[in-house]
Amino acid sequence: MYRYNDFDAAFVAERNRQFRAQVERRIDGSLTEDEFKPLRLMNGLYLQLHAYMLRVAVPYGTLNSAQMRQLAYIAERWDKGYGHFTTRQNIQYNWPKLRDIPDILDALAEVEMHALQTSGNTIRNVTADHFAGAAKDEIADPRPVAELLRQWSTDHPEFQFLPRKFKIAVTGSPNDRAVTAAHDIGIRIVERDGEIGYQVLVGGGLGRTPMIGKVINDFVSQEDLLPYVEAIVSVWNLLGRRDNKYKARIKITVHEHGIDEIRAMVDERYGELRSAFTGVDQQLFGAIKEAFAPPKFADKPLDAYQQAYDSDPVFRAWADANLWDHVAPGYAIAQISLKAHGATPGDASAEQMRVMADLAEQYGHDELRVSHEQNIVLPHVHKADLPAIHATLKQHGLATSNIGKISDIIACPGMDYCALATARSIPIAQEIATRFDELKIENEIGDLKVKISGCINACGHHHVGHIGILGLDRAGVENYQITLGGDHTEKTSLGERTGPGFGAEEIVPAIETVVQAYLDNRESADEAFIDTYRRVGMAPFKEALYGEQTSKRSRAA
Amino acid sequence: MPRAFTPKVVTANALLEGDVVYLTADDTWTRHLHEAELLTDEAHAQVRLVDASARVDEVVGVYLADMKPTDHGPEPTHFREDFRRTGPSNRNHGKQAEVA
């Protein structure tokens, strides 16, 4: 993976030194909160409901074991012994103290990490497929281009005061696991006549006004990508609605002007700035690419794996749910679920972080990934080692075999932590997972993505959940709306609302009703929830949800 | 008839710790809602808010939060304030842990 060069290290150290001084000046009263707030946000520091929150960037979700161990150390030394992995492939600490932040940032820098541009109106952490460099279906590893974009966007002088935040995601596989169509810019690696290039989408986003990204260019060549992306951000930087926060994202700009007009403006801007890119970026890209060269894969017999698979039903269930096809023979991508039934989605204790780091070092070519689905991935493990890996995971509450199932829920922090939230998300996720675990029908239900947001900003991606849940404040009471039919893959679609929302006590039974309607309507066990929904539409679900309620009411009357 | 004024407390987050604090009648910040000064007069509440907002080296994000009077001090009227004075519901952290 990419290692900091002297420039990167010096840059992060200088930024940390500056922020240390800014924190001191805030504490001694030289800076007001109004002056300090934009400075702390540039360094990933939020003030939430109960405490400060530090959001640490995990660029394109890639970590090595030393980094994961340092995250564990920070959790224990300066926080409450755990961290929260997010839908942006980042990690958040929920309880740091202001005075400790500079030390935390220095500790991060020791392992080539930072919290820069994890907030504020800048280009945020670039996200990528969490199976990057490992997936069998991949055209090329998306991380070199994500790293190039990270270097280009970090402290980019033109893009430090954008109309609003700006998010870029990259996938190297036609099976989009990076939700590229829900980003300001989505980049999809494609191959045309043997040449690797990029399909570029623009104007996607969830939140208050969800939009699916539109293709602005079907094929941008490698050497043209950076100037092309710069042209897009540059056009939006001028056009973007600074008058209205809710209309400032590029999705609204694209919507208001139309993709054709935006494309023409981007082409024009591209023509102006293309000559400034003299090829230095391509030299950089070459060096970055080398840093992401695949590890040397081993050739080992698979007997131990096969034996465990045949004889241990618990291991078999885990292998069936949590493994993914790896490009190298004998290897697998192993997902470590951070969704133990009843636990907080995305939380890991310091001890669990160390266990995962040790496994990566011992068995996984020292690599870990954070998925936007709030799980951890061991991207390169030999199947022969999986029984040992599974045995260790089991001892630390990390062997839940539920990837892609109903309890593998994405949930934003919601009103348990977030100052913007209008309702809680985490307890709803906990209750749904617990309930379906009790019912023992999780495997029978099969693939089903439940995504929960505690406010309209949609950090929990509820719009693209097969079942989406949005928590709102209805006259001082938590209320949950359900959407159905969302899809986060390359076939991105936005869910449709079922109707009126449900109270906190009613939402889990309502989800049970939706799932029962699916089981009643599916053609066979092979028909996944989303396929049944696409075939039968909203009507049977609506009837199950509200028809029942109406009849209950009339019975009561 | 003018709408009745909902009683309030002045609340904020502490600058250094970031946790929730409330203003008491004797102008100190307390971590405990039941010790907060309940403001029942609108004009007085505004004055208290303005004064508290000026204490920029102690607190961040000062505002007036709706409360109802009870025998054991002010109680939240909205679930957000209830979470703020308690802590998160998924872990025994925050104020609920400090009380215990």
Q: Which residue of B has its CA nearest to A101?
A: B16
| Pair A415, A454: CB distance under 8 Å | yes
Q: How far apart are CA A410 and CA A407, in angstroms?
A: 9
Tokens 């693939």 sit on residue: A447
Q: Which residue of B has its CA nearest to A431?
A: B90
Tell me the pLDDT band of A365, cut-offs 50, 70 and 90: very high
Percentage of chain A modeled with pLDDT above 70 = 98
Q: Domain extents for chain B?
A: 8-99
Question: Which residues of chain B are within 8 Å of residue A48 when distances are taken between CB atoms?
Answer: 18
Does ipTM exceed 0.85? yes
pLDDT score of A557: 39
CATH class of A6-110: alpha beta
Q: Pick from B75, B90, B95 the residue to mutate for testing the A interface (most A CBs within 10 Å).
A: B90
CB of B13 within 8 Å of any CB in chain A?
yes
Hey, what are A552's tokens?
Answer: 């209950």
User: DSSP characters for A124-178?
Assistant: -PPEE-TTTTTBTT-SS-SHHHHHHHHHHHTT-GGGSS-SS-B-EEEESSSS--S
| Pair A411, A318: CB distance under 8 Å | no
Q: Biggest alpha carbon distance in chain A? A: 77
Mind telling me how many Å the CA of B93 is from chain A's nearest CA? Answer: 8
Q: What is the pLDDT of residues A208-244, one digit of tens each?
A: 999 999 999 999 999 999 999 999 999 999 999 999 9
Mean pLDDT score, A405-427: 98
Q: Per this entry, what is the length of chain B?
A: 100
Mean pLDDT score, A21-30: 96
Selecting from B61, B78, B88 the residue whose C-beta is nearest the C-beta of A50 gives B88
Mean pLDDT score, A429-444: 97
Q: Looking at the domain that runs over A303-395, which CATH code has it been given?
A: 3.90.480.20
Torsion sign over Cα B16, B17, B23, B26: negative
Q: Which residue of A has its CA nearest to B59?
A: A33
Torsion sign over Cα A197, A201, A206, A208: positive
Q: What is the pLDDT of residues A281-322, one digit of tens each?
A: 999 999 999 999 999 999 999 999 999 999 999 999 999 999
Tokens 């890996």 sit on residue: A389
Residue A409 has pLDDT above 90, yes or no: yes
Contacts of A278 (CB under 8 A, 6+ apart): none
Cite the residue boundaries of each domain of chain A with CATH code 3.90.480.20.
Answer: 6-110, 303-395
CB of A50 within 8 Å of any CB in chain B?
yes
Mean pLDDT score, A83-93: 97
- Per the CATH hierarchy, to which homologous superfamily does domain A410-556 belong? Sulfite Reductase Hemoprotein, domain 1 (3.30.413.10)
CB of B18 within 8 Å of any CB in chain A?
yes
Helices marked H in A367-408 — which ranges? 386-395
Question: Which residues of chain A are within 8 Å of residue B57 when distances are taken between CB atoms?
Answer: 27-29
Selecting from B18, B61, B83 the residue whose C-beta is nearest the C-beta of A51 gives B18
Percentage of chain A modeled with pLDDT above 90 = 98
- Judging by DSSP bridges, how do beta strands B20-23 and B8-14 pair with one another? antiparallel
- Judging by DSSP bridges, how do beta strands B59-70 and B73-76 pair with one another? antiparallel
Q: How far apart are CA A358 and CA A371, in angstroms?
A: 19
Mean pLDDT score, A395-405: 98
Size of the A and B interface in Cβ pairs below 8 Å:
74
Q: Biggest alpha carbon distance in chain B? A: 45
Question: Which residues of chain B are within 8 Å of residue A98 when distances are taken between CB atoms?
Answer: 15-18
| Pair A204, A184: CB distance under 8 Å | yes
Tell me the pLDDT band of B1, cut-offs 50, 70 and 90: low
Cite the residue boundaries of each domain of chain A with CATH code 3.30.413.10.
Answer: 142-291, 410-556
Cα dihedral A543, A453, B82, A74 in deg (nearest 10): 150
CATH architecture for the domain at A142-291: 2-Layer Sandwich (3.30)
Residue A439 has pLDDT above 50, yes or no: yes
Q: What is the pLDDT of residues B44-53, one digit of tens each?
A: 999 999 999 9
Mean pLDDT of chain A: 96
Phi, psi (degrees; rounded to nearest 5) at A225: -65, -50
CB of A524 within 8 Å of any CB in chain B?
no
Q: How far apart are CA B82 and CA A334, in angstroms?
A: 41
Q: What is the pLDDT of residues B17-69, one digit of tens each?
A: 999 999 999 999 999 999 999 999 999 999 999 999 999 999 999 999 999 99
Selecting from B16, B61, B93 the residue whose C-beta is nearest the C-beta of A99 gives B16
Hey, what are A372's tokens?
Answer: 């936007």
| Pair A50, B94: CB distance under 8 Å | yes
pLDDT score of A549: 53
Residue B3 has pLDDT above 90, yes or no: no
Contacts of A230 (CB under 8 A, 6+ apart): A152, A273
Tell me the pLDDT band of A1, cut-offs 50, 70 and 90: confident
| Pair A97, A78: CB distance under 8 Å | yes
Give the three-state DSSP class for A188. strand
Query: CA end-to-end span of chain B, whole Å?
Result: 45
Burial class (CB in 10 A: 0-12, 13-18, 19+), A75: buried
| Pair A444, A493: CB distance under 8 Å | no
pLDDT score of A398: 98
Question: Which residues of chain A are within 8 Å of residue B91 when distances are taken between CB atoms?
Answer: 80, 344
Selecting from A94, A416, A477 the residue whose C-beta is nearest the C-beta of B83 gives A416
Residue A550 has pLDDT above 70, yes or no: no
Q: Tell me what percent of chain A is helix, strand and coil, each rounded to the nearest 5.
A: 45, 20, 35
Task: Give me the amino acid identity at A177.
Answer: R
Residue A555 has pLDDT above 50, yes or no: no
Q: Pick from A23, A50, A480 the residue to mutate for testing the B interface (most B CBs within 10 Å).
A: A50
CB of A505 within 8 Å of any CB in chain B?
no
pLDDT score of A102: 98
Contact at CB, A476 and B78, closer than 8 angstroms: yes
Residue A496 forms beta bridges with which residues? A484
